[in-house]
Amino acid sequence: MNIDPDIAAVLEGNSLLQVLKITKGAPGEVPETTNYVVVGTSEKAKAQAALDARVKNEAQLVTTKTSLARQIADITHELNKQRWLGWQEQLDNPAADSKAIAESVVRMEQQLRFLTDTDDYLTHKLQPPAHLRTLEASLGLAKANSLLALAMVAHSEALTNAQLVAAGVFDESGEGTVALIGARTEALKKLCRAADQQVEVAEVALRTERKRQLTVEAQRTVAGALTHAEIVCNNLSAKIGQ
């Protein structure tokens, strides 16, 4: 089993790593807390994979947007060139087929409008929610780290008690004993507190971004700044929701 390197780095010796591999018949709560660590490690791996997928998706959207920007720039240049050539042809030859000339220009204008709408759709309807999903996945990973750290603390405490029982310091009931605090457990508790703080940071980041997106959309709606693509999507969503 792979132990989180940040947690493994603070372990005293390798006793805890050994007990993760050999738990059958261990005294006290060691087998149960070992299972917590195993599950916590698995959940962290899943959360990390989910975050990696969200980050990859956002990166792909950025790449697509860059490609669209190049296409828009190219078609804009060609359209302006076609317009200029059409104007020149019409002026040089008043008997020229203006309808045919205009149709060629209109087709390019329609292509440019389509690419621009596609870019607006990506910018305003795909990228914002994609970023929120990334932040949600980041929060999920932070929570998984927090739970794993908590499991490691519980396991370390159980291991310490088991070792004391095995050494005959006190019996399994723990009656008449004093509480002992191990350096390993204290180090893990620091990691646990740090992990909890990261959960709070991730929660704030998600709330802040949600509020920002809602505010921006409301302001753009009031200002009449919504793009054609946004209006189409909003109308479609309204129809579907009816």
Residues 111-145 pLDDT 10s: 999 999 999 999 999 999 999 999 999 999 999 99
pLDDT at 3: 45
Please give the mean pLDDT across all residues of the chain: 83
Of the listed ranges 52-61, 135-144, 171-180, the least confidently predicted one is 171-180
Q: 32: pLDDT confidence band, cut at 50, 70 and 90?
A: confident
* Of 3-7, 10-14, 74-78, 233-237, highest mean pLDDT: 74-78
- Stronger pLDDT, 90 or 155, i.e. the higher one: 90
In a domain, 225, yes or no: yes
In a domain, 43, yes or no: yes
In a domain, 103, yes or no: yes
The amino acid at 41: T
Of the listed ranges 8-22, 38-52, 88-102, 175-189, the least confidently predicted one is 8-22
Of the listed ranges 21-35, 52-66, 116-130, 183-197, the least confidently predicted one is 21-35
CA 173 – CA 178 distance, rounded (Å): 12
Q: Read off the tokens for 118.
A: 């596609």
pLDDT at 29: 58
Residue with tokens 């959960």: 199
Q: What is the pLDDT averaged over residues 39-53? A: 94
Structural domain boundaries, residue 154: 28-236
- Stronger pLDDT, 165 or 64, i.e. the higher one: 64
Helix, strand, coil tally for the chain in percent (to 5): 80, 0, 20
Q: H/E element holding 119?
A: helix 98-121
What b/e sequence results for 78-99 when a residue is b if at least 16 CB atoms lie within 10 Å of its CB, and e otherwise?
ebeebbeebeeeeeeeeeeeee
DSSP structure class, residue 12: S
CA 229 – CA 121 distance, rounded (Å): 5
Residue with tokens 């969503």: 237
- Number of domain units in the chain: 1
DSSP structure class, residue 4: P
Q: Is 5 exposed, middle or buried (0-12, 13-18, 19+ CB in 10 A)?
A: exposed
Q: What is the pLDDT averaged over residues 78-98? A: 94
In a domain, 12, yes or no: no
In a domain, 157, yes or no: yes
In a domain, 20, yes or no: no
In a domain, 14, yes or no: no
Q: Read off the tokens for 135.
A: 């932040």
Number of H helices, E strands in the chain: 7, 0
pTM equals: 0.77
**Does the structure show a pLDDT above 90 at 70?**
yes
Percentage of residues of the chain with pLDDT beyond 70: 76
* Of 24-28, 41-45, 226-230, highest mean pLDDT: 226-230
Specify whether the CB–CB gap between 69 and 112 falls below 8 A. Answer: no
